[in-house]
Amino acid sequence: MSPSSHYLSCGPFNLHYTAWGPDDAPVVIAWHGLARTGRDFDSLAQQLAPNYRVICPDTIGRGLSQWSHDPSNDYCLARYARLALALMDGLHIERAHWIGTSMGGAIGMVCAAGLDLPEFKGRIQSLLLNDMAPELAMAAIERIKSYAGTPQAFDTVPELEAFFRQAYAPFGFHTDAQWRHLTETSTRRLPDGRVTPHYDPAIVQQFFRPVPEYDMWAQYDALSMPVMVLRGANSDLVLPPTLEAMRSRGPGASGRLRVHEIAGCGHAPALNVPEQWALVSDFLQSAA
């Protein structure tokens, strides 16, 4: 099964997304990480498509979505959440399960909590946080800032693939075909003919805002829907003490939290192998 490709005007931006599965099925929104695209979810979406309508957006500044002319104001969680609201309204989606990897999980927390966007109240049916938490390790954020803000460029696509294999080794096991797919779905060519990752380098301006965005305990504590956290066992972004704090407050305190550590992964599990597909499917079915 292959996805269909679509473009939608969401406020001032044109947003690209892929869609899988029947139009009348329960909806899953799968939102990618900081420097990635919605095509990261292709293998998971293919597994879910028989039972769900899976919507995989490219965040503005990534993939085939529009880039911002005002990066310091647009590349932030508040803007991304408003784009998510416009996406759901534009597609007439009343309720959806949310799967978010890294930044996509943070966007999901903003939406699901409804503190700043009350229009979202009750519209996120369940929330899966893939290596994302309401508190992140600063050393890992510095690591991400160091590579994401200055993406490398290469003469050939195979050279870029070799770079991705090294940079994204923490994603866990990939077949050769999966590495090639990851590369070909997240590559753009520069005016000088070289190839580079398919995103606007200015996206890292999100980390230089006056008020840090990734202190999200208030949003986490406001979550009332079922929540599952998948943590890469070797993650340097979500640390074990943070995970333990999550178990004792918010959905953890109300018994609505599941936590699974994924062996052989760091930040973040790629959701591309049967064991991870099974965890996701079981969680979605339990939250129906």
CATH of the domain at 160: 3.40.50.1820
Q: What is the pLDDT of residue 123?
A: 98
What range does the domain containing 52 cover? Answer: 4-286
Q: What is the pLDDT of residue 53?
A: 98
Residue written as token pair 């939608």: 8
Q: What is the pLDDT of residue 148?
A: 86
d(Cα 260, Cα 38) in Å, to the nearest integer? Answer: 23
CB crowding 107-120: b at 16 or more within 10 Å, else e: bbbbbbbbeebeeb
Q: What is the pLDDT of residue 163?
A: 97
How many distinct structural domains can be found in the chain?
A: 1
Q: What is the pLDDT of residue 16?
A: 98
Do 212 and 83 form a contact (C-beta atoms < 8 A)?
Answer: no
β-pairing, 195-197 vs 257-262, is unpaired
Q: What is the pLDDT of residue 189?
A: 98
Q: What is the pLDDT of residue 95?
A: 98
Phi, psi (5° rounding) for residue 144?
-65, -45
Residues lower than pLDDT 70 in the chain = none
Q: What is the pLDDT of residue 183?
A: 98
Backbone region of residue 131 per phi and psi (left: phi > 0; alpha: psi in -120 to 50; beta: other values)? left
Q: What is the pLDDT of residue 253?
A: 97
Q: Would you give the distance in Å from CA 56 to the centre of its chain?
A: 9
Q: What is the pLDDT of residue 1?
A: 75
Residue written as token pair 């800032």: 145
Q: What is the pLDDT of residue 245?
A: 98
